[in-house]
Structure 1
Amino acid sequence: MMHRRGGNKFRGGNSNYRFHDDHDNRTNNFIKTSRRVSFKTTKNNNAKSLSDMKIKAFLDDEDMGNDLAQNTSNDMKKKGRFRNRKGSPVPNRRIGGMNLIQNHAGWYLVTIHHGIFNAHYYKIDTENSCAQFYVDDYDIAAKILTQDKKLNLPDGFKMIIRVRGSVPHVKVDETLKERMKLAMVKRYNPQTKALDLTKFHADQDLSDVFCALFRPQIMSAVISIIVENIPDLEALNLNENKLNMFDHLKILSSKLHHLKIIYLANNRIGSLSSLEVFKHLPIVEFYLEGNPFKKRFAKNGDYVSEVKKKFPKLLKLDGVELSPTIGFDVSEEKKDFPIWKQSFMVNSSGQDFVAKFLEQYFAIYDSENRQQLLEAYHENAMLSITSTNNQHYTYEERLHAYWKVGRNLIHPKGYEHRFASLKRGKLVVVAMLSDLPPTKHDPQSFAVDLTFYTPQMIVMTVTGLFKEKNSDNRTEFVRTFQKTLVIVPNNGGFCIRNELLHINNASPAQIRNAFNSTIDPQPLNSSFQSTIVQQPQPDESNKLKMIEMMSHQSNMNVEWSRKCLEETQWDFNRALYVFQELFKESKIPQEAFLK
C-alpha cells in the first residue's frame, strides 16, 4: 500500500497538515474532554494578528501580506472542533473550504505543494518542493483555492493549494528602466502629447517581469522617465493600475507643468482627498469612474460639486462636460513684485516736510495740553475714528475710550450716530482728541506713505505704536494706530483738512519691540530716509521743456524760470509751489516778468 503524505488517515478531512514543514502531524486531535463552563474574558488576540498582517500587506515590499487564508482556516478548525455534538468531538471531516481574505493590493500568490510544472510558466521552489504563480483577481484566486485537495496528482496524492495575498518582488535597475522606456514609447502619442499607461503591469513587452504602478519604486521609475523624455506631457492615462496611494506623485506638480488631463478610472482610490497631490496642476479633465470613493456620494451632483471644489478649473469629469466655474480670471503666472519698503515717498521733495510736520504734531499730541493742536487743523476740518474691540481682551485692555466715539459702519447705530460720530470743525476735533487717554508715541515704529504731494494738497498715511496710560495712571497698554491725513496750504503754512484714525491693540511681537531701549534715538526723518527714491536730474532737452512750461504757467521769462527750477533741484512741482508762495508775498521782482 502506498504511503500517503501528511499522515492523516481520513483522506480529504479537515487535517492540521503542516504543508510548509512537509512532515506528519502526530498530534492527536481526538482526545476526549469533558465540557467546561468558564466565565473568563478571552482576549481577541486573533484580531490583532489579522490587523498586523493587513498592515504588513501594505508595507512589506517583498511579500505584501501573510497567509491570511491559512490562519482563517486554523481558526475555523479550532472553533468547529466541538460544535454540534454535546461534549463529543466531531468526526475529522471537511466542513467547508478555506476562506480567502481579500487583499487590498489585489494580488495573490498561489502555491502548489509537491507540484512539478514547466518552469517557463511557473516558479519552482526546489527548497520547499512547490510551484508558485501570481494572479491579480480576487475571484480567480478564490476559485483556485476551492480546488485544494480535489485534484489528483500522477503519484496518486491530492494536490495541495494555498493562496495568500502577496505581491511579486521586482528589482528596479537600469536594465529594467530601459525596457520600461521602450514599452512607454509605444504608448505615447506625440500629436496629443498623451501617455497611455492603462494596466501597465499587463504590458506584453514586460510580461516576464512585474511592473505594477502601485508599487512606489515602479511609479518613481516611470515618473523619472517621463520627466527626462517628455516634460511637456499634457495627458496621462493611469486607468486600471490598482492605485490607492498618491504621495509619490507630488513631484508631478513641480516637474510636469503642462499636465492637465489625468485618467484614474477603475483604481482603488478610497478618498477624494487622495487627489490633492494634483491640486497645483492646471487640471481641466479627470476620469475617476470605478473608484470606491464614488460610492460615498448618494447623488452624482454632490460628487461633481466636491471634485470641482478641489479643482475649480475642471471642465470635464468622467467624460461629461462641466459648466465653467464663475470667478475672477486672475493670471497665475509668476510675477516679480516690487521690493517691500517700510515707507514710500511719491515725491522726494516731500521728505523734509513730512518729517517736520509729524515731529511737531506728535510732540504736541503727547503733551499734557492738546489744545495747541488747534493751529494744526483747518477751520472746517473733519475727523472720524474707528477701533477693533476683541472680546478676548481683558476689560482694561479693551478700547472703550475709542469705541464709544468710533464710527465703525459695520456696527450701525442709525443715521444720527453716524452723523454725530463724524466730527466737524477744528474746535470739535481738538476737543475730542483732548478727551482721549494720554499717550506717548514711538517714532522708531513709524512707517510713512506719502501718496500725493502737490502745492495744492498733500496726502499721507502714518502707522506706528504708542503707549496709553490707564485711568489709574499706573498701567500702560501698547496700541497700534493708523492715521491718514489730507493736508492743504493755509495762511502761509499747512493744516489738516481731513483725518481718519484707526486704533487697535498691539500684537505680542509689537509689544516686545515697542520703545526698544537698545536703539539709539534718531531724528524722525531717519525712519524713512533710506526708502526715498531720489529724483533723477533731467537731461538738457528735458530741462528746456521744463523751463518753457514753467515760463508759460508762471508768466516769468526764461531766465527767471530757469533760476527757479535750478534752486529747487529741477523739481517742477516744488518750483511751481515756491513761485506761488513768493508771488503771494510780492517777493518776486518785476524784472522776472519782462520778456
Structure 2
Amino acid sequence: SKHGRERSKYYNKGFEHDDRTMVPHESTRRVSFKNHGRRNKHNRQRGWDSKIRALLQDDDVEMNSNSRSSERYNGNIGRNQRRGFHQRLDRPGARRFLTESPSFWYKVTIRYGGRYEKDYLLKLLGNYIKPVPFIPIGYKVSSNDATFTIEDHAAAEELLNADKRITVNDGFKINIQVRSFNPLVEIGTKIAEIMTKVMSSRYNPYTKALDLSKFHLDPNFLSENVFCPLNKENVMLAVIGIIHESIPDLAALDLSNNKLSSLNCMKSMIEKVANLKILHIGQNKIRDIKQLDALKGLNLEELVVDGNSMCDKFTSKDEYIRAVRQRFPKVIKLDYVDLPPPILFDVDDEDCKLPPSQASFMCDAERGASVVRAFLEQYYQIYDSDSRDALIQAYHDNAQFSLDCYLLPGQHSSTCSSYLSDSRNLFRIPSVERRMKLLKVGKNKIVDTLKSLPRTQHDPTSFVVDLVLFTPVLIELNVCGLFKEKDKVDSAMKYFNRLFVIVPVGSGFCIVNEMLTIMLATPEQVKKVAKLKEVVAVTAAIPAGSTSSTAVALPVEPDLATKHQMVTTLSLKSGMNLVWSEKCLTETNWNFDQALSAFLQLQKAGSIPAAAFQK
C-alpha cells in the first residue's frame, strides 16, 4: 500500500537490521497513542514504546525458542498495529531462490552476529529452518560479523529466505547473507596434525579399512572450527600422502558423502595405495563414468558408486556393470550387490601368467633346431656370397616373394634407395595392378630380384629366430637381424625381417612363400649387437663344428632361473662380473662349456678388457 511504501522509507535509518519503526513528522496519525507526560514532538512515542517493548520482550524471546511460526513473530509494535491492524509486520514476500554452488559449499554471513553468543544465534537459525538439516562449519567472528560454511543447498536457501525475519532478544532482526563459496584451504602444521588425528581415529587395523565418509564433519574439525573438505585437491593429495606414509597396505577406503565431482586428483592412488581392493565413493557429485578412468590401474574387487548422478545415465543394469568392468575388470561386488564372475579373458589372472619371453623360439626344439640351423647356414652362405645364382635351388617353381622397405619419420629415402623401387608396401601402393606387378611369382623372377639387390654381409650374432610351425609337410620360420652392404664403405647398418614358408622336397626343403622387410637399424639395435661382440671378439677361432663363414646359432634357451645360475657360476669360475659373464653366455648360445672354453682362450690371448673384471 501507499502507506506501507512511505513507512519503508524510514526503516533502518540508524541500524541496518533495526526493525523499530520511525514515524515521519508529516504523517497523519489516525489513532493517537500519545505519551501525555512528554509532548515534545521529537520524543512523543519514546516513553510509551519502551514500556510496551519491556512488557513484550520476554514473551518474544520465549516464542522464538518454541516454534518456527513464533520465531517469525515481531515483538515490537509497528505502525499498522497502532492503527488497529493485527497482521504481522514481517509477512513473507516473494520467495528467493539460490543457484546451486559449483563447489557445493555456501558461505553464510550474519551481519553484526558477533554481538550474540554463538550457541544462541545458531539455535535461532536452526529452529527457524526446521526440519531442514543445518550443520554450520568453521564458525568465525570477524569485524563483528559471524560467518560459517554449510554444505546443504536446501539449508542455504532457507537461510537466505530467513533474512530479516528472525528477531533476536534485543529487538533487532537478523541480517543474513548467503552466497556460493569456493573455499581456499591452506594446510598448515595445525590442520595437518588434525587430519592425521582424524584419519587415525577412523582407521580399523584389523580390516585395514579407513572410513573418510563426511570427512569435513568429523568432530575433531568442528571442535576446532576447521573447514577441511575432501573435494579440494590439496586436501585430497594430503590425505593420499598420509595413507602412503602411514598405512601403505590399506585394503578398503570409504570416501562417500564428500561432494567429490572430479577424481583426477586421486590418480596417485594407483601407485601410493596399490593394495586397495575396496573403494566406496557413493553419495558424491560424480556426473560421468569417465571420471573413474583416473583410478583405472587399481585392482578393485568391490566398488560403491551409487548416489552419483552418473548412475542415472545408464539404461540397463548390464550396461552399467559393463562400463564399470571396463575400468575395473576384477570387480565382483558393485553397489553392495554380488556380480557374476568376470570372464577370464577379460582379466589378467595372477594364476595364469604368460611364459617368459625368449630371444629365439623353437616350437619343436628337439627336431626343428637342427633343420632350421642347416637351412639358414646354407641360405645365408649363398646370399652373402658374390653370386646368388645358386639360390634358385632353394625356391619352389611357383614360389611367391614380396619385398617391403619402410622408412621411419625423419629418415631420408636415399639410405634405402636400392630397395624402394621393388617395395610392395600396401599402404603406399593403392593400385591393384602395381601391387600384382611387384609380387614376384616363380623362382626365376625371385632370384633375379634378389640378385638386383646390393651385396650384403649379415651379422649372425644379431639373428633372432622363431620356428613358429614345424610339421612333416610344412615349416614356418621367421628370422630377423642386422646386415650391412658390402659395396658401400660408409653404409648404415640395416635391419631385416624375413618370413619363410618351407615345404619338404625329396631329401631337402624349398621355399614356397617369402616376405622380406628392410629398414634402417635403430641406434639401440646397433648398440646392443656391438655389446655382444665385446665379450667374444674372436669366437670364430673356437672350433664350432662348421666351416661356414655365416654360422647361424639357434639356441634352445634355458629358463630364467637356470640362466641366472649359469651366470653366477661362470662369474665365480672366471672372475668376470655378472654383466660380462652374461654376455659371454649369450654369445655362446648359453652353452656353459663353450662359454668357459671361450673365456680361457680369450684370457690367454689377452683379449678380455679390464672392465670385465670390475665388480
- TM-score range for the pair, normalised by the shorter chain length: 0.5 to 0.7
Write out per-residue CA displacement over residues 476-533 of structure 1, whole angstroms, 9 at most, x where no aligned residue.
xx99651437698999xxx5344541245x56x5699999xxx9xx997499897442
How far did residue 111 of structure 1 move? Answer: 0.8
Q: Which residue of 2 aligns with 1:298?
A: 315
Within-5 A mapping of 1:508-547: 525=550, 531-533=587-589, 535-537=591-593
Give ranges in structure 1 of 5+ residues lacking alignment.
Answer: 1-6, 20-92, 406-428, 468-477, 540-595
1:118 paired residue number: 117
Higher helix share: 2
395 and 527 in structure 1: CA distance in 2 versus 1, 3 angstrom threshold: farther
Contact 1:214–1:242 (CA<8 Å) still a contact in 2?
yes
In structure 2, the CA distance between the partners of 1:479 and 1:153, relative to structure 1 (3 Å rule), is same
Deviation at 1:289, TM superposition (A): 0.7
SS at match of 1:537: helix
Relative distance call for 1:190 and 1:490 in structure 2 (3 A) is same
- Structure 1 residue 375, shift from structure 2 partner: 4.5
Q: Do the aligned partners of 1:383 and 1:500 also contact (CA within 8 Å) in 2?
A: yes
2:244 maps to what in 1? 227
CA contact (8 A) 2:394 2:511 kept: no
Give how far 1:176 is off.
3.0
Superposition deviation, residue 102 in structure 1: 0.8
Distance between the aligned counterparts of 1:527 and 1:536, measured in 2? 18
The residue type paired with residue 104 of structure 2 is G
**Corresponding letter in the other structure for 1:484:** F
Q: Counterparts of 1:195 and 1:164 in 2: how far apart (Å)?
A: 33
Q: Deviations over 1:268-307 (max 9, x none)?
A: 1111111112211111111111101112223333222211
Where does residue 150 of structure 2 map in the other structure? 135
Alignment of 1:433 with 2:446, yes or no, is yes
Q: 1:103 to 1:340 in 2, by over 3 A?
A: farther
- 2:220 is matched with 205
**Are the equivalent residues in 2 in contact too, given 1:243–1:269 (CA < 8 A)?**
yes
Q: CA deviation at 1:139?
A: 0.3
User: Is the CA contact 1:488–1:497 (under 8 Å) kept in the aligned structure 2?
Assistant: yes
TM-score by length of 2: 0.54
Q: Which residue of 1 aligns with 2:94?
A: 96
What is the distance in 2 between the residues matched to 1:126 and 1:485?
86
Matched, 1:373 2:391: yes
User: How far, CA to CA, are the matches of 2:259 and 2:356 in structure 1?
Assistant: 44
2:509 aligned residue (475, 496, 520):
496
Change over 3 Å in CA distance of 1:97–1:277 after alignment to 2? same
Q: Matched residues in 1 for 2:12 and 2:92: separation?
A: 7
CA distance in 1, matches of 2:552, 2:594: 28
3-state SS of 1:111 partner: strand
Aligned partner of 2:162 among 129, 147, 171: 147
Deviation string for 1:100-151 (max 9, x for gaps)?
2210222111111133222577845443x42112211000000000012223
1:354-401 deviations in whole A, cap 9, x for unaligned? 78634442257x95x84x434456xx8884557875244365996433
Between the aligned partners of 1:399 and 1:512, the Cα distance in structure 2 is: 32
Instruction: Give the TM-score, by structure 1 length.
Output: 0.55
Measured in 1, the distance between the counterparts of 2:184 and 2:393 equals: 88
SS in 2 for 1:205: helix
Amino acid at match of 2:453: T
Structure 1 residues 167 and 479, CA, compared in 2 at 3 Å: closer, same or farther? closer
| SS of equivalent residue, structure 2 residue 324 | helix
CA distance in structure 2 between the aligned counterparts of 1:349 and 1:256, rounded to whole angstroms? 51
Change (3 A) 1:255 1:511: closer
Deviations 1:409-447 (A, max 9, x none): xxxxxxxxxxxxxxxxxxxx6335246574336545885
Q: Contact 1:312/1:325 (CA < 8 Å) preserved in 2? A: yes
Separation in 1, partners of 2:514, 2:186: 70
CA distance 1:220–1:464, shift in 2 (3 Å): closer
Which deviations, in whole Å up to 9, do the C-alpha atoms of 1:138-177 show, x marking residues without a partner?
0000000001222345565543211011155544234333
| CA distance 1:195–1:479, change in 2 (3 Å) | closer
Identity %: 27
Distance 2:495 2:247 in 1: 57
Matches for 1:34-73 after TM superposition, within 5 Å: none
Which residues of 2 match residues 137-536 of structure 1 at below 5 A? Answer: 137-153=152-168, 156-208=171-223, 209-328=226-345, 330-331=348-349, 357-363=378-384, 370=389, 372-376=390-394, 383=399, 385=401, 390-393=426-429, 395=431, 399-403=435-439, 405=441, 430-431=443-444, 433-434=446-447, 436=449, 438-440=452-454, 442-444=456-458, 448-449=463-464, 461-463=478-480, 482-484=498-500, 496-503=509-516, 525=550, 531-533=587-589, 535-536=591-592
Aligned length: 405
Equivalents in 2 of 1:177, 1:305: separation in Å? 39
Q: For residue 462 of structure 1, report the CA deviation from its aligned partner.
A: 3.2
**Distance apart, 1:216 and its partner CA:** 2.0
Kindly tell me: are residues 229 and 353 of structure 1, through their superposed partners in 2, closer, same or farther at Cα, counting changes over 3 Å? same
Answer yes or no: is the 8 Å Cα contact 1:484–1:501 preserved in 2.
yes
Q: Distance in 2 between matches of 1:159 and 1:101?
A: 22
Counterparts of 1:534 and 1:160, CA distance in 2: 87
Q: Residue 166 of structure 1 aligns to which amino acid in structure 2?
A: F
Q: Are the equivalent residues in 2 in contact too, given 1:246–1:274 (CA < 8 A)?
A: yes
Deviation at 1:260, TM superposition (A): 1.0
Cα distance in 2 for residues equivalent to 1:479 and 1:536: 29
Distance 1:216 1:449, change over 3 A: closer
CA distance in 1, matches of 2:252, 2:314: 27
| Structure 1 equivalent of residue 87 of structure 2 | none
The one-letter code sitting in structure 2 at the alignment partner of 1:181 is T
The 3 A distance-change label for structure 1 pair 198 and 499 is same
Contact 1:261–1:284 (CA under 8 A) maintained in structure 2 = yes
- Judged with a 3 Å threshold, the aligned counterparts in structure 2 of structure 1 residues 192 and 441 are, in CA distance, closer, same or farther, namely farther
Equivalent residues of 2:399, 2:511 under 8 A apart: yes
Alignment root-mean-square deviation, CA:
5.1
1:188 Cα offset (Å): 2.1
Q: Indicate how the Cα distance of structure 1 residues 240 and 383 shifts in structure 2: closer, same or farther if over 3 A, else same.
A: same
For residue 533 of structure 1, what is the amino acid of its counterpart? N
Q: Secondary structure at the match of 1:207?
A: helix
Q: Kindly indicate whether the alpha-carbon contact (under 8 Å) linking 2:504 and 2:510 is maintained by their aligned counterparts in 1.
A: yes
Q: Deviations over 1:301-354 (max 9, x none)?
A: 3222211222221111111111122233644599995686899xx899999967
User: Distance between the aligned counterparts of 1:350 and 1:536, measured in 2?
Assistant: 23
Measured against aligned partners, the alpha-carbon deviations of 1:47-94 in whole angstroms (never above 9, x if no partner) come to xxxxxxxxxxxxxxxxxxxxxxxxxxxxxxxxxxxxxxxxxxxxxx99
